[in-house]
Amino acid sequence: MVTAGMDGKVKVFDVRKLTPLHAYFSKAPAKSLDVSQRGLLAVGEGASIEIWRDAFMSKQYKPYITHHLPKSWQVNNLCFCPYEDTMGIGHSGGLSSILVPGAGEANFDTFVANPFETVKQRQEAEVHLLLDKLQPEMIVLDPKQIGSVRREPQEHQQIKSQQALEANRAAAIMAGKAVVVRHKTKGRDKPTKRQKRKQMNIITAKRPLIEAQIRSSSVKKAKTEDESVPRALKRFT
């Protein structure tokens, strides 16, 4: 960290110790400070700019570059241009720029910062940065869940099958009752016989359900017998 005070001192601090390492003296209180990508320190004081090289490594006794503004213009602000060997200076007379060899980083990493990137590349970089913040488990499908079938509990399956059986039985009964019974003559159309014919229609409509139920029960019984009785003792069951 570099600081400048009204006493004309420019101090280089070690942030880990919070103690000044080096101190430089300027002719006038510094108005602006800036550090380039390669570690050059620029100090704007009055009408002149001093650029120090390797100011953080060791104590320097002579500035690297000294630049004086014409017409005694006073420096207000200065800033190095990234990835370029230039520096912009804002002063009382306007804006100026000077060349500073070795100030910018010549070999830049496009994965970290690309000064020539287009708008599309910038948008893609923002998306990649957001994806890097996410955990892989949040954006990757679980291979154990893909292609698998979520089975319902056996109790729910039994309840659904029972409801379906009752609904089919009720539909069969309604279909048997809906059969039109022809009226017969000469004593053949008694109330008891009509009721008997209706009951036979209901039984006929329910017969497929009863046969299916018998078949399923026999299959279950055969399975239980196969599981409980050894193969050599089946003839005794």
pLDDT tens for residues 63-81?
999 999 998 899 999 999 9
**Predicted local confidence at residue 44, as pLDDT:** 94
| Residue 42 vs residue 231, higher pLDDT | 42
Q: According to CATH, where is 2.40.128 located in the chain?
A: 2-99
- One of 2.40.128, 2.60.120, 2.60.40, 1.10.260 is the CATH number of 2-99, namely 2.40.128
pTM above 0.95, yes or no: no
Say if CB 176 and CB 151 are below 8 A apart: no
Task: Give residue-wise pLDDT tens across range 19-43.
Answer: 888 898 888 899 999 999 999 999 9
Q: pLDDT-derived band of residue 145, with 50, 70 and 90 as boundaries?
A: confident
- A 10 A CB-CB count for 67 gives 20
Structure tokens at 226: 């196969």
| Number of Cβ within a 10 Å radius of residue 130 | 9
pLDDT greater at residue 72 or residue 189: 72
